[in-house]
Amino acid sequence: MSRHFLDSKISMNRGALSPGGLAPPHSHPRATESGMVIKGKLLVGFVTTDNVLYSKILTTGQMFVFPRGLVHFLLNVGEEKALTFTAFNGHLPGAVLHSTTLFATSYNTPNSKSSVD
């Protein structure tokens, strides 16, 4: 591994979710998270500082970005284990778990934009 990589202060993670599995609402106060769906079908979403929920179903090869500090989640909506590979632009991104009641809202389709006011 090159010294440049070690000095860049990034961190990476490989994630796995069983069918119906959830990475519950959480945020990273010190880093933006970007990732790719390696296998499977995931509903991913985040809530903006204006309380707007953005969500989309992603499949193998598609990417996502969760800006630093915004509440986000991942839900396996497929019939097989889903795998992700993520990177953070900080070596200590932190993780703050939020109550799942935060998302006690309804929306029309997984690819919709809706308010959570």
Domain containing residue 21: CATH number = 2.60.120.10
Query: Is pLDDT larger for residue 112 or for residue 46?
Result: 46
Rounded Cα distance, 104 and 97, in Å: 16
Q: Which residue is it, tokens 């204006």?
A: 50
Counting Cβ atoms within 10 Å, is residue 42 exposed (0-12), middle (13-18) or buried (19+)?
buried
In a domain, 1, yes or no: no
| Strand bridging mode 72-76 / 11-17 | unpaired
| pTM for this model (two decimals) | 0.77
Binding residues for oxalate: 13, 28, 33
Determine phi and psi for 65, rounding to 5 degrees: -140, 130
Does the pLDDT of residue 11 top 70, yes or no? yes
Q: Is 100 helix (H, G, I), strand (E, B) or coil?
A: helix
In a domain, 56, yes or no: yes
In a domain, 116, yes or no: no
pLDDT digits (tens, 9 = 90+) for 55-113: 999 999 999 999 999 999 999 999 999 999 999 998 888 888 876 545 555 555 566 55
Q: What is the pLDDT of residue 91?
A: 84
Determine phi and psi for 4, rounding to 5 degrees: -55, -45
Binding residues for Mn(2+): 26, 28, 33, 72
Q: What is the pLDDT of residue 28?
A: 93
59 is in which domain, residue-wise? 11-63+74-99
**Number of domains the chain is built from:** 1
In a domain, 49, yes or no: yes
In a domain, 69, yes or no: no
Binding residues: 13, 26, 28, 33, 72
